[in-house]
A and B are shown apart, each in its own frame.
Chain A
């Protein structure tokens, strides 16, 4: 039987707040939230040139970082 190579998992940071331990949102989830916010901005019909520039910059940044 072939053994699968171990999958490396980067653990999220943890913070303690009011006696409870909370995971910091992962970069993946942060990106997802940002994409949803950008979509909402674009669909609002009130997108300014500055909004578009910021959204385009984030998009290009993600493309550059993509494997």
Chain B
């Protein structure tokens, strides 16, 4: 348990790469100890794989998009159509996979915009402090006090509904979470001795921000992004459910549920399976995120 000089340096880490590999395998060890996070990770990988290779893995890839075949509409689950067909005759399973593509894309774009912006603003507020900090954080607080879905709704409803407006709407409020996260970390790290040491060494502010503060935000941000992915997908699906997000025929899971709900309870498969899909995707992200949080925290562990 205690590192030692003469005895115990197992592998002389004379290269950064070797050291990195060692930390990676340690991190994996910690992560894999927890069954649940492994399951979550597997689930996420599975769904992302499906969505990425939708064209190749779905039984009826041509059923995606604008497809009609009224003759085969409303078929219950069968050997030919595992999840049945929908009101237009398209295979539900295929449309779920393609729908999840859209959901993932939504999450990707939203997080891709909001996270960097949130980090930037959070760093600024936390490092500079004073009035700037107060101003930024009060604005953030205002945004945070309103429920994400409601805010997105309001923004979306102001324009003609479409997937891009939905993405912008969600992104425009999502940055606040990351801002607050990074702000908190920055503030607490600012007072750590190694930052003080950097200041005494004469490091410039930029240097301190990029080499001392930012790397320490990495783990919490990664964990948050993972947990966020699920939640963003949920918000996106919620918007679509209300008709404000993805529009048919490029339906995402929320739209499918919305359309399918009209046919409950007789044609249950049109609602149940997309719902199950969302549930499992979000669950996967949550489990993965939790596992990552534990693994990453311990890896840095002091």
A and B bound?
Answer: no
Residue positions of B touching A, CB distance < 8 A = none
Residue positions of A touching B, CB distance < 8 A = none
